[in-house]
Chain A
Amino acid sequence: MRRFRATAPALLAASVLVLTACGDDAAEPETDAGGGGDAAAADYPTESITLIVPYAAGGPTDLAGRTIGSCIEEELGQTVVVENREGASGSVGMQAMLAGGNDGYTLSLIAVPASATNPLQDDVGYTNEDYVPIAVVTEIPSALIVGADSQFSTAEEFFQYAEENPGELNVGVPGTTTSQAMELRRLAEEYGVEVTAVPFTGNAEMTTAILGGNVDAVFINSSQDVLENIEAGSFLPLAVSPAEPVDYIDAPTLAESGFPELTNSVSVFGLAAPAGVPDNVVSTLEETVDTCLQKDDVREQLGEQYVPDEFIDSDAFSSRIDSIIEAYGPILQE
């Protein structure tokens, strides 16, 4: 019994591969058409949809992918197969989606900014023109956080000290190519406030580092565990990253703290399809995600506070990505 259970995913994966391979051939004539007039696309979806999650099972992207996937399945009446294809900060998953063809039956969850900044940095087998963002599912802001016994209690004190003592404060960031790290570089380059960014991998490590007093502050994705630590009083938030303040973290924005340009450090998880996907597929999915995000159980599973107050559709999502490319492109291509 155990053996059977365990090989089931492999068999499933194999059959999915076969399916996507078939789908590829079928999509061939549509590739350059790109229009929504096709009869086949009109009654989308008529078969099962593969949703690629470019990160490991069990992580926050996986949660977002599976939640929205099961809701789409419910709404559109077709099976949504979630497939984890992790690797190379999401590039492996992106390639897998592109290989699946642009008929709308292979979609991917994308995590912005990583999916937009990867191609700026290395040759990862795709460019930002190769995919179409469809809708935002969740957005998680970053927060600048110090420990409860820190000498700083406000953003003002922190940044003033940093300005007077360049490079002395150590600030943990979740990775070297993350939006948090890049915002700190812009802080130094555009505002002359210099801190040392120390890259960690993931929230668990950063939490330990701040609790053990091994860094002065962390600039961290304010996911559920961080909110819990703030509530428990072991974390003190000094500032948050989005353009507008968020109601669940009691701290000013970086823009309010004197850095009006620093508004891009927000992790956005959204749905995307390969470029050239029929227009009506995009609009169908936009509508479906919008409906899903209004459902209470979906909102609760995703974390109520992370679901955007106002639905972010394909166009708005695209311009978000464009502004990130504009802000980080020059830094990454140095």
Chain B
Amino acid sequence: MGILDGIGQGFAVALDPINLLYVFLGVLIGTVIGVLPGLGPTATIALLLPLTYEVEPVTAVILLAGIYYGSMYGGTITSVLLQLPGEAASVVTTFDGYQMAKQGRAGPALGIAAVGSFIGGTVAVIGLTLLAPPLADLAVEFGSQEYVALTALGILLVTYLGTRHPVKSLCMAALGLLLATIGQDDITGTTRFTFGQIALFDGFDFVAVAMGLFGVGEILYNVEKTEKAQAIKTKLKNVWPSRKDFRDSSGAIARGSVMGFFIGVLPGGGGVISSLASYATEKRRAKDPSRFGKGAIEGVAGPETANNASSTSAFIPLLTLGIPANVVLALIFGALLVQGITPGPQLISQEPEIFWGVIASMYIGNLMLLALNIPLVGVFVQLLRVRSGILAAFALLVTMAGVFSVNNDSFDMWVVLLFGLVGWLMKKTGFEPGPLVLAFVLGSILETNFRRSMLLSGGEFSTFITRPMSGTIFALMALVIIISVISGIRKRRRRSRPATPGEEDLAATGTTAEPEGTPGNETTDEQAPPAESGVPRDRS
């Protein structure tokens, strides 16, 4: 099927009244939770996941995708008005967005963010439309060895990129890999670490683990914090940016779209990394970098465009390879699995209505978001008045009912509570749940494919290097490790010198930024901005 036929079919699916309603619901929920600090897209999707089992698979994905990219819009609002990132990817927006608001230019800041998000999102959907089908054709050739290489790369990148403490996230990734071994082994059928408990034969349920770590852990963490009422003092006027604003930010939006698209495809790349990378690029390209941090509109336009583009392109590896690029996509992966659909290279040909329907819904969703955001910003801001205690109690109730309904098994409810506790402790001690959950998902793919490769090759390790595609990926991984080691050594030498300007920006905002618990939020508080390569790395 050609791309035109496909997209035609997709719109037929997406324009179905039910699906149209769910796109709208998705982007609306996304915007709302984006506005509410402490409830990121991951927590929300984790909480709402069981509710999607009732609807058609395509409708479920449309809804969840809508929440994801919708939250990218919503997160901007509080970043600009209150210097309070509603979700992680908007942290960078606080640097210049809040400054613009202080100068009375909150309207244009939000306006340009919405426009940039729309353009970035649309460019990425077009890229997804054009690139995913050929990629899926290529992916059919992928054997177990390639999957080993890709998942290992994914775990490496997730651990290295966008985390404050690589050692801590390495620990979490290792824990995730260990947890993934619980249950019946795929290759020999022996049970591992089950202690004779049937409930553990299939390992921990991914949905329960994710809901616990992100959902309940998040709720506990938020409840603990003292509630303080947020007053919105800024008056919003002239949301539509001026011609000069457009001229100033057009380059940033263009670069943000492209950069966001490509970073989103990388494992672990969606969301925060792309916005950091875009901010770093804009700052470096600017004629007068000192404007940044003082209300430069490019500093809002670029990152906001990039995070939206990346949250869309992050769907590419999932829909073509069946490998989730980040935790949100891992949840969507879970949603499809529960519906009896295994995402992979066959998805486009076997379930075209899902693939194309979701893509078409993204075009529509981005339009809806533009329409929602420009005139309704003032309304969304009022949401901040909802007391978080009420929200938390309600969310916990939905979680427990939801997880029970997945398998009709009370064991899963205990798993949620256990991991909720673990997630809360992890947040308190600065460990990120993101690498754990992603390693947990990728771990079983990695292990099964590794052992399958061993079977196929008759136990020859060289099979990973001699196959061109897996060889290339492993070479790339070696490169990433070497570069990061070298730059780590360099940085140590430069220790004595003052921190880079960007670092100060973040350090300044870090203290006020809410450490809210989306997996992408690895950079929330005192995180360093991207290094010159556009690859953020820990500097502490």
Contacts and interface: CB of A to CB of B under 8 A. Distances in A.
Interface of A: 2-3, 5-7, 9-10, 13, 56-59, 62, 83-89, 91-92, 95, 121-125, 167, 170, 175-177, 196, 198-202, 204-205, 207-209, 211-215, 225
Contacts of A211: 140
A208 B54 contact: no
B16 interface: no
A202 B398 CA distance: 32
Nearest to A87: B202
A213 B141 contact: yes
B455 A86 contact: no
Interface in B339-358: 339-342, 344-346, 350
Contacts of B202: 86-88
Contact of B340 (A57, A209, A215): A57
From B54, B198, B346, B401, name the one whose CB has the most chain A CB atoms within 10 angstroms: B198
A79 to B, nearest CB: 17
Interface in B103-136: none
Contact of B342 (A7, A10, A205, A215): A205
Contacts of A85: 407-409
Given A87-B199, A214-B456, A207 B346 contact: yes
A95 B405 CA distance: 18
B50 interface: yes
Contact of A199 (B340, B398, B452, B458): B452
A332 to B, nearest CB: 9
A124 B455 contact: no
Contact of A208 (B140, B201, B448): B140
3 closest residue pairs by CB, A with B: A58-B340, A88-B201, A214-B143
Contacts of A86: 202, 407
Nearest to B145: A214
Contacts of A56: 338, 340
19 contacts: A6-B51, A10-B401, A10-B405, A13-B404, A62-B340, A87-B407, A124-B198, A176-B186, A176-B187, A204-B342, A204-B346, A208-B140, A208-B344, A208-B345, A208-B346, A209-B143, A211-B140, A213-B141, A214-B456
Given A88-B201, A176-B186, A214-B456, A225 B404 contact: no
Contacts of A87: 198-199, 201-202, 407, 409
Contacts of A7: 398, 401, 405
B25 interface: yes
Interface string B188-206: 1101000010110110000
B472 interface: no
Interface in B402-443: 402, 404-405, 407-409
B536 to A, nearest CB: 35
Contacts of B456: 170, 196, 198, 214-215
Contacts of A215: 456
Contact of B198 (A3, A95, A200, A208): A95
A55 B452 CA distance: 25
B363 interface: no
A212 B140 contact: yes
Interface string B442-483: 000000100010011010000000000000000000000000
A95 B197 CA distance: 12
A56 B50 CA distance: 13
From B196, B340, B398, B455, name the one whose CB has the most chain A CB atoms within 10 angstroms: B340
A105 to B, nearest CB: 17
A2 B404 contact: no
A225 B338 contact: no
B140 A170 contact: no
B184 interface: yes
Nearest to A117: B189
B404 A10 contact: yes
Contacts of B278: none
B144 interface: yes
A89 to B, nearest CB: 7
Given A6-B405, A87-B201, 7 more contacts: A6-B54, A7-B398, A9-B53, A10-B404, A85-B409, A86-B407, A122-B191
A17 to B, nearest CB: 8
Nearest to A9: B405
Nearest to A6: B51
Interface string B335-379: 000111110111000100000000000000000000000000000
B140 A199 contact: no
A6 B51 CA distance: 5
A23 B342 CA distance: 38
Nearest to A181: B189
Contacts of B186: 175-176, 199, 201
A88 B455 contact: no
Nearest to B404: A10
Nearest to B52: A6
Contacts of A125: 198
Nearest to B405: A10
Interface in B177-230: 184-189, 191, 196, 198-199, 201-202
Given A88-B184, A88-B202, A6 B345 contact: no
A156 B408 CA distance: 48
Contacts of A84: 407-408
A170 to B, nearest CB: 5
B16 to A, nearest CB: 17
Contacts of B345: 208, 212
B196 A92 contact: no
Given A59-B340, A208-B140, A121 B198 contact: no
Contacts of A124: 198, 201
B128 to A, nearest CB: 21
Contacts of A196: 455-456, 458
A9 B340 CA distance: 18
Given A2-B51, A89-B184, A201 B338 contact: no
Contacts of B184: 88-89
Contacts of A88: 184, 198, 201-202
Given A85-B409, A121-B189, A199-B187, A10 B340 contact: no
Contacts of B53: 9, 57
Contacts of B140: 208, 211-212
A212 B198 contact: no
Contacts of B25: 2
A122 B409 CA distance: 21
Contacts of B191: 122
A183 to B, nearest CB: 15
A32 to B, nearest CB: 26
A211 B346 CA distance: 10
Contact of A212 (B54, B143, B407): B143
Nearest to A204: B342
Contacts of B408: 13, 83-85
A59 B337 CA distance: 10
Contact of A170 (B409, B448, B455): B455
Contacts of A201: 186, 448
Interface string B286-329: 00000000000000000000000000000000000000000000
A141 B42 CA distance: 42
B29 to A, nearest CB: 10
A195 B53 CA distance: 40
Contact of A205 (B50, B187, B196, B344): B344
Given A59-B340, A198-B456, A176 B199 contact: no
Contacts of A208: 140, 142, 344-346
A171 to B, nearest CB: 10
